[in-house]
């Protein structure tokens, strides 16, 4: 069960210990440290604040997020795009809802880097939503490409929109983990039903069968 935060301008579902919420039994899943499901009111956001030695990924679900940092980056990221920031040796950034009237919804994910103390960096990548249909579409990976953001860790983030009645298989390599997040819909995972905003942490399951009980959008992360 996620910890829910409601500050009026910000509503969050926290999958791991974060901010005021601390559970010593729920601080990480492998290299994964944060999965925040954030809803930000128009014109609101997070003022300048520092990070170091963390890989931070923002997946925009609805609306637009404005990013600014002390490296000189200033960019707006929208649905169909992913933002990746490697904090490295240190970076100061701010994130705001780019709209004064519409809500912003995004997933923010934090991962420990493969190596500490590197040069901080930032990028925004775009993907084609139609390629998610009945397919696991990589949007972030350690190798990266023109449409896949690169990350300083041996992981891959997939997005998928599975149409009702369709199924996909995923093979989990030995010693690796899978984190699942159902964005909307109902997903059956090897006989277990997950509903909207449910998450799952899976280990030692070499074969996952993913079936849509209804049209379903979800995120799958392959982790070391």
Count how many residues are written for the chain.
224
Q: How many CA atoms lie within 13 A of 124 on its CB side?
A: 15
Distance CA 152, CA 70 (A): 20
Binding residues for Fe cation: 49, 51, 93, 95
Q: Can you say which residues are annotated as belonging to the binding site? A: 49, 51, 93, 95
Distance, in Å, from the CA atom of 190 to the CA atom of 207, rounded to the nearest integer, reads 8
165: left (phi over 0), alpha (psi -120 to 50) or beta: left
Number of Cβ atoms within 10 Å of the Cβ of 21:
14
């Amino acid at each position: 069960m996620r910890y829910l935060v409601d500050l009026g301008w910000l509503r969050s579902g926290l999958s791991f210990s974060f901010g005021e919420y601390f559970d010593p039994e729920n601080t990480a899943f492998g290299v994964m440290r944060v999965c925040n499901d954030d809803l930000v009111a128009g014109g609101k956001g997070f003022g300048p604040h520092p990070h170091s030695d963390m890989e931070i990924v923002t997946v925009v679900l609805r609306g637009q997020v404005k990013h600014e940092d002390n490296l000189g980056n200033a960019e707006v990221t929208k649905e169909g795009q992913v933002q990746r920031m490697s904090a490295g040796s240190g970076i100061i950034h701010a994130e705001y809802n780019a709209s004064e009237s519409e809500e912003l919804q995004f997933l923010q994910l934090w991962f420990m880097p493969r190596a500490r103390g590197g040069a901080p960096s930032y990028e925004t990548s775009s993907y084609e939503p139609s390629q998610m249909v009945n397919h696991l579409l990589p949007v972030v990976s350690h190798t990266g490409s023109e449409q896949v953001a690169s990350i300083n860790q041996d992981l891959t983030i997939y997005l998928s929109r599975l149409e009702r009645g369709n199924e996909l298989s995923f093979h989990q390599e030995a010693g690796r983990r899978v984190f699942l997040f159902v964005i909307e819909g109902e997903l059956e995972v090897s006989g277990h039903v997950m509903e909207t905003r449910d998450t799952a942490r899976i280990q030692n399951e070499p074969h996952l069968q993913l079936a849509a009980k209804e049209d379903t959008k979800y995120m799958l992360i392959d982790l070391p």
